[in-house]
Amino acid sequence: LRQAQADLAYMSRVIAVGELAASLAHEIKQPIAAAVMNAKTCARWLQRDTPDIAEACEAASRIVKDTTRAAEIIDRVRSLYSRGTPERELVDLNEIVREMIVLLHDEANRYCIPISIRAELTPSLPRVMADRVQLQQVLMNLMLNGIEAMKDTGGELTVTSKIAENGQLLVSVSDSGVGLPVEESDRIFKAFFTTKPQGTGMGLSISRTIVESHSGRLWASANTGRGATFHFSLPTETKAVAMPPEGT
């Protein structure tokens, strides 16, 4: 079962990363284009009759900044779809949320209508014993779904983190989009259920499998106004260590 979970998570990551490839290519092209410009500027300062070393140095340090940014983006993507068996480590959920917001920024701006992403993160959350890549996967699925739900109307995606009353960590992804499909809201977590022409119907089912393999829960609720909210809860470090999930 665990191998199947790992395979499914891997598959879904590859699909989702494939969908993101275009916007990521754009994100990587920007710093590279900036680096080329700065390299030309640098050469011009050096080729002057009296080379301006200070200006050339400044242009060179901008090149370092641009290329470092491009390398960071590549590293982040690589960590998303590098194959590996699930690995448990102490994970800071807020950090994962922040990373995903950076990663999905371009995706949210791909549509003609503005979609903003906002984070309401409770500082100094206890860390969770979890597979970082799998949790990135869950957040990416939920956030991409939220963005997609708002692609015709625009709106705001809000990601919240806090400690719930039962002491577990609670992450919520809320959108102001189309809302859950009427009378189908219990089916959305079933594999292959999709209302999208290009959908796979795998995202939510894989996400739930991942969260449950961490002894957590994943569920959805309709917003009072527009849109839907997806929540997942996870036991914190002490609990997870004291009560390892079944089968681990």
Q: Which is nearer to ligand ADP, 74 or 113 (CB)?
A: 113
223 is an interface residue for ligand ADP by CB under 6 A: no
175 is an interface residue for ligand ADP by CB under 6 A: yes
How far apart are CB 173 and ligand ADP at their closest, in Å? 8
**In angstroms, rounded to a whole number, what is the distance separating the alpha carbons of residues 13 and 11?**
5
Residues 99-158 that bind ligand ADP (CB under 6 A): 141, 145-146, 149
How far apart are CB 48 and ligand ADP at their closest, in Å? 56
Contact (Cβ atoms closer than 8 angstroms) between residue 227 and residue 176: yes
Contact (Cβ atoms closer than 8 angstroms) between residue 121 and residue 160: yes
Binds ligand ADP by CB under 6 A, chosen from 228, 232, 233, 240: 228
User: H helices within 48-131, ranges in order?
Assistant: 53-81, 93-108
Q: How far is CA 234 from CA 50, 90, 151, 166, 192, in A?
A: 63, 12, 30, 10, 25
Helix axes 132-149, 2-47, angle to 10 degrees: 80
Overall size of the chain counted in residues: 248
Binds ligand ADP by CB under 6 A, chosen from 194, 217, 226, 236: 194
Show the beta-strand stretches assigned E in 88-223: 89-91, 115-121, 128-130, 155-163, 169-174, 217-222
Residues 46-105 that bind ligand ADP (CB under 6 A): none
Q: How far is CA 34 from CA 22, 55, 125, in A?
A: 19, 16, 37
Q: Which of 120, 122, 125, 114 is nearest to 156 (CA)?
A: 114
**In angstroms, rounded to a whole number, what is the distance separating the alpha carbons of residues 51 and 150?**
53
181 is an interface residue for ligand ADP by CB under 6 A: yes
Binds ligand ADP by CB under 6 A, chosen from 80, 104, 180, 240: 180
Q: CB under 6 A: which stretch of 28-36, 82-90, 105-113, 172-180 binds ligand ADP?
A: 172-180
Q: Which is nearer to ligand ADP, 104 or 188 (CB)?
A: 188
199 is an interface residue for ligand ADP by CB under 6 A: yes
Contact (Cβ atoms closer than 8 angstroms) between residue 153 and residue 167: no
How far apart are CB 172 and ligand ADP at their closest, in Å? 12
Tokens linked to 78:
């690589």
Q: CB under 6 A: which stretch of 66-74, 102-110, 119-127, 198-206 binds ligand ADP?
A: 198-206
Binds ligand ADP by CB under 6 A, chosen from 31, 155, 177, 216: 177
Binds ligand ADP by CB under 6 A, chosen from 82, 122, 195, 238: 195
How far apart are CB 206 and ligand ADP at their closest, in Å? 8
Q: Which residues make up the interface to ligand ADP (CB under 6 A)?
A: 141, 145-146, 149, 175, 177-181, 188, 193-196, 199-205, 228
